[in-house]
Structure 1
Amino acid sequence: MTEEEIFQQLRTICARILSVDPARITADTDLRQELDADSLDMAELAAASEDRFHVTVDLDTAKQARTLADMAGLVHAGARVG
């Protein structure tokens, strides 16, 4: 699965978690600044990513992610390792 495919699926998951229109989320959207995501939202996104993609996403690293592209990169890296 490519990072772009991962991103598209993560965008849907993220939109559900943050209760926003998926069209508001681009690869460079700052999830914290622009969409008011907090550390609990990021933890939920990490958990949902693990469930969806069957990878392990480090929670501390996920909490540091700023954009959905960052999260897609974490998932993609986990998919290659795991």
Structure 2
Amino acid sequence: MLVFTRRKGESLVIGNDVEIVVLSLGPGNVKLGINAPRHISVHRHEVFEAIRRENLAASRSQIPAAGILKKLVR
């Protein structure tokens, strides 16, 4: 893990087009601003994990998709 020390108003850049700015510091928290192109997804870790779990559950679904498609085409 790469660790940075930044002060309020300072930033760091990832790649050529993602910038993370320290907006404010409080007791026990840091507020960050992220400038990134629209095609790059940015999520809090807990939201990312929830999306990953839902996608995994959907991929394991027992719905017989081929049978449903055959009925719709008829």
| Same fold, judged at TM 0.5 (above) | no
- Which protein is richer in helix relative to its size? 1
TM-score under structure 2 length normalisation = 0.29
- Which protein is richer in strand relative to its size? 2
